Structure 1
Amino acid sequence: MCTEWQSWRTGEAGHELGHEAVGIVVDAAQSTRLKVGDRVIAMPHWGCGKCQACRSGEHIHCTEQRDLLAETGSSCGLGGYAQYLLKPDYLLYPVPDDISTDHAAMALCALGPSFTAIERMQVSAADTVLVSGCGAVGLGAIVNARTIGARVIALELNPYRIELARALGAERVLDPLAPNLVDQIRALTSGYGVDAAIETSNNEAAPPVVLELVRPRGRLSFVTWSGALPVNRITGKGLDIFGSWHWNHDRLGTQMMQRVRDARPLLDLLATHRFALDEVSEAFALQETGRCGKVLLYPNGGQS
Structure 2
Amino acid sequence: MCTEWQGWRAGTHSCELGHEAVGLVVDAANSTRLRTGDRVIVMPHAGCGTCPACEAGEHIHCIEQRDLLVETGSTSGIGTYADYLLKPDYLLHKVPDDIETDHAAMAVCALGPSFTAMERMGVKAGETLLVSGCGAVGLGAVVNGRTIGARVIALELHPYRAELARKLGAELVLDPRAEDILQQVQALTGGYGADAGIETSNNPSAPPVVLELIRARGRLSFVTWSGELPVKRITGKGVEIYGCWHWNHDRFGDAMMQRLRDARPLLDALMTHRFSMADVAKAFALQETGSCGKVLLYPAGVPEHRNQHNSQPEDVQ
TM-score range, shorter chain: over 0.9
- Output the CA distance in 1 between the equivalents of 2:245 and 2:102: 22
Aligned counterparts, 1:1-304, within 5 A: 1-303=1-303
- Output the CA distance in 2 between the equivalents of 1:120 and 1:3: 24
Q: Which runs of 5+ in 1 are unaligned?
A: none
Q: Which runs of 5+ in 2 are unaligned?
A: 307-317
SS in 1 for 2:116: helix
> Aligned-pair distance for 1:32?
1.0
- Output the CA distance in 2 between the equivalents of 1:74 and 1:226: 35
SS in 2 for 1:131: strand
> Aligned-pair distance for 1:301?
1.7
- Output the CA distance in 2 between the equivalents of 1:235 and 1:299: 50
SS in 2 for 1:33: coil
- Output the CA distance in 1 between the equivalents of 2:189 and 2:57: 37
SS in 2 for 1:220: strand
- Hey, which bits of structure 1, 4+ residues long, moved more than 6 A? none
What is the letter of the counterpart of residue 204 of structure 2?
E
SS in 1 for 2:28: coil
Cα displacement string for residues 200-253 of structure 1 (whole angstroms, at most 9, x for unaligned residues)? 000000000000000000000000000000000000000000000000000000
> Aligned-pair distance for 1:126?
2.3
What is the letter of the counterpart of residue 249 of structure 1?
H
What is the letter of the counterpart of residue 47 of structure 1?
G
- Output the CA distance in 1 between the equivalents of 2:140 and 2:299: 23
> Aligned-pair distance for 1:125?
0.6
- Output the CA distance in 2 between the equivalents of 1:162 and 1:203: 16
Cα displacement string for residues 26-59 of structure 1 (whole angstroms, at most 9, x for unaligned residues)? 0111111111110000100001111111111000
- Output the CA distance in 2 between the equivalents of 1:184 and 1:42: 40
> Aligned-pair distance for 1:302?
3.0
Cα displacement string for residues 91-140 of structure 1 (whole angstroms, at most 9, x for unaligned residues)? 00000000000000000000000000000000001210000000000000
- Output the CA distance in 2 between the equivalents of 1:235 and 1:245: 24
What is the letter of the counterpart of residue 60 of structure 1?
I
> Aligned-pair distance for 1:299?
1.0
Preserved CA contact (<8 Å) 2:274 2:302: no
- Output the CA distance in 1 between the equivalents of 2:128 and 2:194: 5
Cα displacement string for residues 236-273 of structure 1 (whole angstroms, at most 9, x for unaligned residues)? 00000000000000000000000000000000000000
> Aligned-pair distance for 1:157?
0.4
- Output the CA distance in 2 between the equivalents of 1:16 and 1:137: 22
Q: What's 2:314 paired with? A: none
**Percent identity of equivalent pairs:** 75
- Output the CA distance in 2 between the equivalents of 1:183 and 1:33: 53
What is the letter of the counterpart of residue 7 of structure 1?
G
RMSD between aligned alpha carbons?
A: 0.6
What is the letter of the counterpart of residue 129 of structure 1?
L
SS in 2 for 1:242: strand
What is the letter of the counterpart of residue 194 of structure 2?
V
SS in 2 for 1:26: coil
What is the letter of the counterpart of residue 254 of structure 1?
D
- Output the CA distance in 1 between the equivalents of 2:89 and 2:302: 26
- Output the CA distance in 1 between the equivalents of 2:54 and 2:186: 42
> Aligned-pair distance for 1:70?
0.6
SS in 1 for 2:18: coil
